[in-house]
Amino acid sequence: MADTRDKAILTCALTGVLTDPSQYPVPVTPAQMAAEARDAFNAGASIMHVHLRRQEPGMGHLPSWDPEVAAEIVDAIRAACPGVIINLTTGVIGPDISGPAACIRRVKPEIAACNAGTLNYLKIREDGRWAWPPMVFDNPVEKVKAFLDVMAETGTLPEFECFDVGIARSVGMFRKAGMTQHVDYNFVMGVASGMPADGDLLPLLLRWIEPGAAWQTTLIGRAEIWPVHRRTAELGGMLRTGLEDSFYLPDGSRAPGNGALIEALAACARRAGREVARPAEARAMLGLAAD
């Protein structure tokens, strides 16, 4: 295989956790998820970040942890996108991880998100009202370890979601404590109470990660996120977008779907002098088994 060190792996975050499909064009059913994944795959995404939604009529705005729903959705995506890499969500509030654990065991994704620390998850409106009731996204060490133990059992690589600098620094402690031997970082930027989507932060963050670790950015926002995608590409990071993270293209227009967002992301990579990794190349770069 040709040298892939400078290639960019693209991830598509297809739908997210709570966006209402009656108001926004997010996929919910296995067929919808597969169709959106295929568009993103054709545009250059090798990894699909998968959230699961309730399948009952009128309930698609709510998350599901039914392992059979997980299997139907993941099987549909894999059939539509030969060689695709599945990255399964795991985020839950509270100590009970039985739902995401059952889904990981059922579909055995190549990668799963592992939220690496606790965050006050907040957003405030211009008039001073909370956009939603203030909540704590709790990820204490014992919960992180429980997720990592399930991932080790299924051969799933953890991707550590880092919402703030201290959370990113904690990941190295997890490795030192023997909780994991695999360290990949996802810097989540744009949550109002976490790191802002600011390209000037990236060189500083890279000083505090484990040497040689893969990293990417998840950028939440509108047109302002695209210069940060470009900076990620310039600094050698992997790239992610999709309807979970943004509905807006670089020109500020609404994206018609995931495929258009991934096309714009691939263009960011190429403008930074990097080609887009194909699925087999992405697997080799991440140390995953060939499909």
Cα–Cα dist 14/36, whole Å: 7
Could you give the 3-state DSSP secondary structure of residue 57?
coil
Say which amino acid occupies 236.
G
Round the average pLDDT of the chain to a whole number and report it.
96
Nearest to 185 by CA among 153, 200, 207, 154: 207
The per-residue pLDDT for range 198-230, each reduced to its tens digit, is 999 999 999 999 999 999 999 999 999 999 999
The first and second tokens of residue 64, run together, are: 């599901």
The crossing angle, in degrees rounded to 10, of helices 67-80 and 30-43 is 40
Determine which helix (DSSP H) or strand (DSSP E) holds 72, and give its type and residue range.
helix 67-80
What is the mean predicted confidence (pLDDT) over 253-258? 96
What is the mean predicted confidence (pLDDT) over 258-274? 97
pLDDT of residue 291: 81
pTM over 0.85? The answer is yes
Cα–Cα dist 232/203, whole Å: 10
Model confidence at 2: pLDDT above 90: no
Model confidence at 5: pLDDT above 70: no
